[in-house]
Amino acid sequence: MAADHLLFSYGTLSHPEIQLDTFGRLLRGEPDALPGYTMDYARIDDHRLVDLSGHSIHAVVRPTGNTLDKVVGKALRLTEDEVDACDEYEVALFRRIQVRLASGREAWAYVAS
């Protein structure tokens, strides 16, 4: 199983119980940060996601354009199928985009829609 993708995780996808439910395994990850973004919080109305995470309020990142802003998280290694599973896990509040992390690596990230 080749983990060819990086996903920047700053929220529930970093939690072991969410990874096991979504991917069937724990993901390898390294600490990293997302510059030019800030953390915000939003109410989730999707009962499946609320039941799985145990929370109706989830973190969401928004771009600020200010390089002094950053969100701390992890760069997780995923397969193509696991990226698809992330898309199924995330709700309409989020959209997946390509970002450059503080480490210089390219990764997917779910940001505010």
Q: Where are the domains of the chain?
A: 5-112
Q: Which residue has the higher pLDDT, 27 or 59?
A: 27
- The yes or no reply on domain 5-112 and CATH 3.20.20.10 is no
For 74-110, the pLDDT digits (tens) are 999 999 999 999 998 876 778 999 999 999 999 999 9
pLDDT digits (tens, 9 = 90+) for 45-77: 777 776 777 777 778 899 999 989 999 999 999
DSSP one-letter code for 102? T
What per-residue string of b and e applies to 27-50 under the rule 16 or more CB within 10 Å gives b? bebeebbbebbebeebebebeebb
d(C-alpha 37, C-alpha 34), whole Å:
6
Q: Which residues pair with 111 in a beta bridge?
A: 61, 95
Residue 2 has pLDDT above 70, yes or no: no
Q: Specify the pTM.
A: 0.85
Residue with tokens 């997946």: 96
